[in-house]
Amino acid sequence: MSRNGEANLVPREQPTTYYGRPVVKPPVWKPEIPLYFFSGGLAGASAVLAAAATFAGRRRLARRAWAGALAGVTTSPALLVKDLGRPSRFLNMLRVFKVTSPMNLGAWLLLANGGATTFAAALNARDGERRGGAPEIVAAALGAPLATYTAVLISNSAIPAWSEARRHLPFVFAASSGASAAGAALLSVEPSEAAPARALGVSAVLAEEVATMLMRRRLGELASVYEEGEAGRYGKASRVLSIAGAALLGAGRPSAAPRRDLAAVGGALLLAGSICKRWSVFKAGFQSAEDPLQTVRPQRRQIAREGGGA
Amino acid sequence: MSERVGFFTDTSVCIGCKACEVACKEWNQVPADPQGFSGASYDNSGELGADRWRHVAFIEQKLPVGVEGGAPDSWVQEAARQNLVEQGVEPEADEDGFRWLMSSDVCKHCSEAGCLDACPTGSIFRTEFGTVVVQEDICNGCGYCVVACPFGVLDQRPEDGRVWKCTLCYDRLKDDMEPACAQACPTDSIQFGELSDLRERAAERIEVLHQRGHSEARLYGESEDDGVGGFGAFFLLLDEPEVYRLPPDPTVPTRRAGAAWAAAGAAGAALLAGVAASFLAGRS
């Protein structure tokens, strides 16, 4: 050890790492988790779309959207249980109500939205002339947070590419959810009632583009993980699929009835784009965790900003 | 509620014997984990995880000495070194300039613990000793704590899917015994005690080291002003934290959750508004 002390040592140009090994742990989540981000988003945004369609008297659109919401809320717990390994493990989350844990709040939210959606969907199935009421409002009010809370869940972590995106990821997820809900409804809805879903699909894809761009700008050098490797490939795929879908849907006057097959293809593209988006964000978290400099550099800058440090 | 206890790991006297790793595994019956030859000095056990609750890091440094800087050297020494540099010799810190940093890493038992906040089942709790422990019968293996820890301490055990980490020997504490790693440490690099005592001891130690000219010695995690409210297990380091694979300025994710929730609320409202607007736009 130097008797003269560290002050003599040449200053390092960039942070040193421990044999290049990561500081934080990558997620242990299996592919069920990003699929759940998708299915939860589909459920939440579909509930909003379905409630709006019910109130607007668009019966056929409402039926498709309630079906999409139901598909989402039934798939979601199954995916979570699959990731946990045993059904009873899901119940462990329901022994507490814990505001500091987005995952705990999300479990309650999923149950509450599932109940409200099932109830509202059942009422709509029974009464073909139903014009909406409190159950629809509750399902929609719980659907919007269901579509966005998963962004809070992952940004409430030590993974830099997620944590530093905490102000933008919820918008990305909300837009992607909106696109998926529109896409699911457009798979089979009659052209005469498709207009609101088309408008939602096109505007959600635009919103997703803008939110993603702003997120990358905010992330600065951390954004590289969203552009590289698997995250980058799926991010590009999401973009191509979503924009192609929106272009198909946007062709022609907004109020004109589209060709049913074109709308269905457009809707399928939006769904595929939404899945790819979640996969891209998911993989970006792994890539970010694996690079120790992604962890160290922003913290070094924080120390420099605060003028003190460890 | 007892006095809060913790570890003070003084890495300046760590000899890298790994007795702490072994004692921890023995006492807590932590399963064996596969090891190989890593090529990273004497560190073949890798990292903290479900099956390793103490981990000794080895850092081999051979650092060239700069001729600039606020050195406590005399001008004569300074000039002599400058001379060497001009002759093309790269001077090193005294003798051959080699130093070997060793450090036994462990769960930090943070005052504001990201794992505890994130845990959706309430499985992770704070004990009467102020430590952070996972209750294995309640852990559902969701893995949220794994990404919520700013230090990468927790990990899932693939065999059962649950998460395991240092308990600061919760069972031994209840019987007034010190944790196994601290008891096994032959140089008292790992010191166990009441946190307030440990902080005093650390302050004295750092003063001694600074007086001896080791200005590179620093405490890590002893301050309650940091992003996790201070560690229950803090360290004396001889280089920047990242050299030891420790985050230089960790922050508990919970402190930033407000901004994320606010954004989620706004995004949810935007979704509602967007759907409503689509119906207005879609009206023929």
CATH number of the domain where residue B11 is located: 3.30.70.20
Dist. CA B11–CA A64, nearest whole Å: 64
In the sheet with B218-220, reading across from the earlier edge strand, the strands are B190-194, B5-10, B233-237, B218-220
Alpha-carbon distance values, A1 to A9, A241, B100, B212, B214 (Å): 12, 59, 8, 11, 8
Instruction: Using the Cα atoms of residue A179, residue A81, residue B148 and residue B58 in order, give the sign of their dihedral.
Output: negative
- B242 and B127 in a common domain: yes
Distance between CA atoms of B178 and B228, rounded to whole angstroms? 25
- In this structure, are B34 and B130 located in the same domain? yes
**Would B36 be classed as within a structural domain?**
yes
Q: In whole angstroms, what is the distance from residue A61 CA to residue A182 CA?
A: 10
Does any domain span residue A1?
A: no
A269 pLDDT more than 80: yes
Position B70 in a domain: no
Same-domain pairing of B180 and B137: yes
- Asked, for residue A3, whether it belongs to a domain, the answer is no
Between chain A and chain B, the number of residue pairs with CB atoms below 8 A apart is: 312
Structure token digits, residue A257: 């009835």
Q: Is residue B87 part of a domain?
A: no
Over residues A159-186, the pLDDT tens digits come to 999 999 999 999 999 999 999 999 999 9
Average pLDDT over residues A48-59: 96
Q: What is the DSSP string of A187-244?
A: TT--GGG-HHHHHHHHHHHHHHHHHHHHHHHHHGGGGHHHHSHHHHHHHHHHHHHHHH
**In chain A, positions 137-166, which contact chain B (CB-CB < 8 Å)?**
140, 144-145, 147-149, 151-159, 162-163, 166
Cβ-Cβ contacts under 8 Å, B156 against chain A: 28
Examine the domain organization and report whether B143 and B218 are in the same domain.
yes
- Find all residues with CB under 8 Å of B259, minimum gap 6, and list them: A166, A167
Residue A14, domain member (yes or no): no
CB contacts, 8 Å: A152 with chain B: 257, 260-261, 263-264
Q: In angstroms, rounded to a whole number, what is the distance separating the alpha carbons of residues A157 and B104?
A: 25
- Does B272 contact A144 at a Cβ distance shorter than 8 Å? yes
What SS3 class is residue A169? helix
Where do we find the tokens 């409202």?
B269
Token pair 């405490």 in the structure block, residue:
B219
B172 and B114 fall within a common domain: yes
Output the six-digit token pair for A105: 């709040």
- pLDDT at residue A160, as a whole number: 98
Helical residues (DSSP H) of B105-162, grouped into ranges = 114-118, 144-148
Amino acid at the residue B61: Q
Q: What is the DSSP letter of A264?
A: H
| pLDDT at residue A115, rounded to an integer | 97
A158, B57: Cβ pair inside 8 Å? no
B283 touches chain A (CB under 8 A): yes
Contact call for residues B119 and B141 (beta carbons, < 8 A)? no
Q: Which domain holds residue B205?
A: 5-60+107-251
Report if residue B16 sits inside a domain. yes
B237 and B149 part of one domain: yes
B215 chain-A contacts, CB cut-off 8 A: 5-7
Residue A13 lies in a domain: no
Confidence of residue A10 (pLDDT cuts 50, 70, 90): very low
Flag whether A10 is in a domain.
no
Q: Which of A193-197, A256-260, B15-19 has the lowest mean pLDDT?
A: A256-260
Contact predicate B122/A97, CB 8 Å? no
Is the pLDDT assigned to residue A14 strictly greater than 90? no
Hey, is the C-beta of A107 within 8 angstroms of any chain B C-beta? Answer: yes
Same structural domain, B159 and B195: yes
CA angle A114, A120, A121 (to 5 degrees): 85
Contacts of B35 (CB under 8 A, 6+ apart): B44, B45, B46
Q: What is the DSSP string of B7-71?
A: EEEEGGG-----HHHHHHHHHHTPPP------SSTT--S-S-BTTBSEEEEEEEEEPBBPS-S--
Name the residue in chain B with its Cα closest to that of A27: B147
Give the pLDDT band of residue A237 (cuts 50, 70, 90).
Answer: very high
- Note whether residue B79 is domain-resident: no
What residues 5-64 of chain B have any CB closer than 8 A to a CB of chain A? 38, 40, 43, 47, 49, 57, 59, 63-64
- For residue B122, being part of any structural domain is answered with yes
Q: Per the structure, how many domains does chain B have?
A: 2
Helix orientation angle between A59-84 and A32-56, rounded to the nearest 10 degrees: 160
Same domain, B184 and B244: yes
The answer as to whether A20 is a domain residue is: no
Q: In chain A, which residue's Cα lies nearest the Cα of B273?
A: A48
Task: Yes or no: say if B101 and B61 are a contact pair by the CB < 8 Å rule.
Answer: yes
Q: How far is the C-alpha of B53 from the C-alpha of B181, rounded, in Å?
A: 10
pLDDT tens, residue by residue, A94-140: 999 999 999 999 999 999 999 999 999 999 999 988 999 999 999 99
Ranges in chain B, pLDDT < 50: 67-72, 91-93
Burial A101-137 (b: 16+ CB within 10 A, else e): bbbbbbbbbbbbbbebbbebbebbeeeeebebeebbe
Same domain, B162 and B279: no
Residue B85, Cα to own-chain centre: how many angstroms? Answer: 38
> Which residue of A2, A146, A176, A282 to mutate against B (max B Cβ within 10 Å)?
A2
CB contact under 8 A, B242 and A199: no
> Chain B residue closest to A14 (CA)?
B242
Q: Nearest 5°: phi and psi at B261?
A: -65, -40
B93, B120, B284 ranked by CB distance to A98: nearest? B120
Please report whether residue B139 resides in a domain.
yes
B263 touches chain A (CB under 8 A): yes
Which of B149, B157, B164, B242 to mutate against chain A (most A CBs within 10 Å)? B242
Residue A11 lies in a domain: no
Average pLDDT over residues A57-61: 94
Helix axes A195-219, A169-186, angle to 10 degrees: 160
Decide if pLDDT at A82 tops 50.
yes
Q: Does B248 sit within 8 Å of A84, measured CB to CB?
A: no
In this prediction, what percent of chain A has a pLDDT beyond 90?
86
Establish if B65 belongs to a structural domain.
no
Is A286 at the interface with chain B, CB within 8 A?
Answer: no
Q: What share of chain B is helix, strand, coil (3-state, %, to 5)?
A: 35, 20, 50
Q: Contact, B216 vs B99, CB < 8 A?
A: no
B281·A98 Cβ contact <8 A: no
Kindly tell me the sign of the dihedral angle through the C-alpha atoms of B24, B26, B30, B33. Answer: positive
The C-alpha atoms of residue A49 and residue B210 are separated, in whole angstroms, by: 66
What SS3 state is found at A7? helix
Buried b (16+ CB within 10 A) or exposed e, A140-170: bbbbbbbbbbbbbbbbbbbbbbbbbbbbbbb
Domain count, chain A: 1
Containing domain of residue A222, as a range?
27-306
Look up the CATH number of the domain holding residue A82.
Answer: 1.20.1630.10
Same domain assignment for residues B52 and B192 = yes
**Highest-confidence range of A5-9, A51-55, A86-90, B78-82, by mean pLDDT?**
A51-55
